[in-house]
Structure 1
Amino acid sequence: MKIAHLIASAVLAAATALTTVALPVTAQAGVVGVSPTGANDWSCRPSGQHPNPVVLVHGTFENMLKNWQVLSPQLKAAGYCVFALDYGNDATAPIAQSARELAPFVDAVLAATKARKVDIVGHSQGGMMPRYYLKYLGGAAKVGELIGIAPSNHGTTNPLTIPTGYTVCPACLDQQAGSAFLTDLNRGGDLVPGPVYTVLSTRWDEIVTPYQSQFLAGPASRVTNVTLQDKCPLDPFEHDQTPNDPVVAQWVLNALSRKGPADPGFRPTCVL
């Protein structure tokens, strides 16, 4: 990870929002942002086949449009009610504060769809931050599954999180390996009673390092940890682009279609 990459990501996110004003705008639960295609149809009602709406949670220096413009329409086409939010000043705010923005958004989704639970798909910080919501904000009773795409579950050893954190990104300090936030989040075990978990990681992750720090500890009935290259050795996707990986989309759909986490024996169709 280079500091220029972080700055470029932030600039790209801002530019994308400014150049796509014709797309739908979300205004629910105090959240306003430009929605990716397929997301935030508040009239959507879940089917018996897909009873849980899917909530998409973007990563640090991102927004819902940039993070989910590929995956969101695929989930919608597969028959899911899809919702997404922007939070935490492009997810740079303290993570506990961002989790307090996620909580009312989930409540709004449940109220609109009349569903009992949602499933959450998150990228990077967005795959880890919901664990705070599950553990401390009552989310465990409202979430069926948490699917993390390159999530920062145990933080990163990348040293550039420190100067970035002290300047423009408190969430970057929270995601530093060994931070007070992560120490508290992971105290007592990675899982909370109720939800199941799927973690999708790439060996080429240059942001959340080492990539194995993304994995969650728990029984196979409740958590599946996936390294993309174990099934697709030539998969080239790195951290930032994992939400756009067609192999990741297959794993996400597999996980959402089951009562438990993703099937560790699943064989995706490799692109390369």
Structure 2
Amino acid sequence: MRVSARQVGEFVETVLAATGADRVDLVGHSQGGLVPLYFINHLGGESKVGTMIGVAPATNGISAYGILHFLAAHSQAKDAVGKVIPAVDDGTAGSAFVTETGEGGMTRPGVEYATVSSRHDLVVQLSESQLPPGPNVSNVVVQDFCPENLTNHGTMVYDDITLRIVRNLLDPETAVAPACHPVAPLP
């Protein structure tokens, strides 16, 4: 994930140079909600990011309901899973990467932050996705806008209600209330 954070930084530099903007807004899903925090907190991104939104983010690392902590205690199983899903080592709650990302606090004063999470996410629990409360932090739960929306980790990026919430967070001056309707937990 450190390599990914550096790549995010390189892309941010490219966008800033091409647009002449002072800052960019970042929106990331899952580990894409954790990697930008490392960029902001440790690679100079604090002065380059205006808003950072994580959708179903692995902000505090994930435990997979305790499975990842079990794997961490059994090196052969951990190595086998790590070969298939390399992000598991960095993305596990309590990992060196997650701990380092949070050094000095998970947020910085000059950046606006938001998380958009679902109570029906079976990959990232609410406590794993949300940032600590602060004046520049909004932790949004989709079901607070629409209780019958059953969107989950994999479907949030396709869900029109989630996308409306993200658009509203990016541009609050033109915010439009999401149109609530039932959403099945299927793609």
Answer yes or no: same fold by TM over 0.5. Answer: yes
Answer yes or no: is 1:131 the counterpart of 2:37. Answer: yes
Q: Could you tell me which runs of 5 or more consecutive residues in structure 1 were left unpaired when the two chains were aligned.
A: 1-94
Counterpart residue number, 1:200: 116
3-state SS, counterpart of residue 61 of structure 2 = coil
Which digits, 9 at most, give the CA deviation of each residue in 1:137-157, with x for residues without a partner?
111111100010000011111
Separation of aligned partners in 1, 2:15 and 2:120: 34
- The TM-score normalised by the length of structure 2 is 0.84
Distance 1:137 1:192, change over 3 A: same
Which digits, 9 at most, give the CA deviation of each residue in 1:144-179, with x for residues without a partner?
000100000111111258446422333112111111
Which digits, 9 at most, give the CA deviation of each residue in 1:160-218, with x for residues without a partner?
5844642233311211111111112113322113111010000111112x222110013
1:246·1:271 contact (CA, 8 Å) conserved in 2? no
Separation of aligned partners in 1, 2:2 and 2:133: 23
Answer yes or no: is 1:179 the counterpart of 2:179. Answer: no
The higher-RCO structure (CA 8 Å, 6+ apart) is 2
What's the RMSD between the two structures over aligned residues?
1.9
Counterpart residue number, 2:9: 103
Separation of aligned partners in 1, 2:51 and 2:172: 10
2:41·2:106 contact (CA, 8 Å) conserved in 1? no
3-state SS, counterpart of residue 34 of structure 2 = helix
Separation of aligned partners in 2, 1:218 and 1:236: 25
2:130·2:139 contact (CA, 8 Å) conserved in 1? yes
1:198·1:224 contact (CA, 8 Å) conserved in 2? yes
Measured after TM superposition, the shift of residue 253 of structure 1 is 1.0
Separation of aligned partners in 1, 2:93 and 2:43: 23
Which digits, 9 at most, give the CA deviation of each residue in 1:18-40, with x for residues without a partner?
xxxxxxxxxxxxxxxxxxxxxxx
- Percentage of matched positions with identical amino acids: 40
2:114·2:169 contact (CA, 8 Å) conserved in 1? yes
Counterpart residue number, 2:60: 154
Task: Give the count of matched residue pairs.
Answer: 171
Counterpart residue number, 1:18: none
Answer yes or no: is 1:231 the counterpart of 2:145. Answer: yes
- The TM-score normalised by the length of structure 1 is 0.59
3-state SS, counterpart of residue 133 of structure 1 = helix
Q: From 236, 241, 253, give the equivalent of 2:167.
A: 253
